[in-house]
Amino acid sequence: MKVSVVQFPGTNCEYDTKYAFEKLGASIEIVWHQKSEIDAKSDLVVIAGGFSYGDYLRSGAIARFSPVMDAVAKHAARGGKVLGICNGFQVLTESRLLPGALKRNEGLHFISKHHHLKVASNSNDFMRKLSINDVVNIPIAHHDGNYYIDEESKKSLYDNEQVLLHYCDENGNISNPNGSVDAIAGVCNAQKNVFGLMPHPERAMESILGSQDGIKMLEGFFA
């Protein structure tokens, strides 16, 4: 499996992502944001976390105009898989490759901690190794992680099983750290080949670091 990891000025999780997928046996290419093409042999494109362009104007708002995002959109349009983690999720919503928007956390503070998530849908490659209502423990680290979507579009998400994850406590009860609508932590597009989430599964690969629950999440992309 080949994974292309997009790198912007301000990206800081590209090498965590590289390590995570290499641990699972993938071949990794770091793709600089000025490149206008993605290797056609790439099975998955990952937009890693960080602070692209320093989060100026709005998180992901400048990165969406980088040349590489045209290549990401073309990759998605031909059925290729795309995963946006944290800032990558913000970039994908700004690029309209995913529905909704990410705004400032309800408490107006940066949040950095482990947080539990409950699986809402597994009818997709990302979540297919997990069961509905499984609870995983995954780090979060964000300032603009408050997911917003209007009521009509939210209904469409649920109807199409596009809501992937909810924030919860260790028992699976809703525990919302940032004010996201319905405590939504991750979604996918209607075609189920573009995925985004605020938590960092690439940082949950080693039990010694607090959790290895990210392994099953990322393994879903492997045939």
Comparing CA positions, the residue from 11, 98, 96 lying closest to residue 47 is: 11
Residues in the chain with pLDDT values less than 70: none
The pLDDT value given to residue 195: 98
Total tally of structural domains belonging to the chain: 1
The pLDDT value given to residue 223: 72
What are the DSSP calls for 155-223, one per residue? HHHHHTT-EEEEEE-TTS-B--SS--GGGEEEEE-TTS-EEEESS-GGG-SBGGGTB-THHHHHHTT--
pLDDT in tens, 183-207: 999 999 999 999 999 999 999 999 9
The pLDDT value given to residue 57: 87
Q: Residues 123, 161: contact at Cβ < 8 Å? A: yes
Tokens representing 120?
């809402």
What's the domain range around 53?
2-219
**Residues labelled as active-site residues:** 86, 200, 202
The pLDDT value given to residue 125: 95
The pLDDT value given to residue 142: 97
The pLDDT value given to residue 158: 98
CATH of the domain at 120: 3.40.50.880
pTM given for the model: 0.96
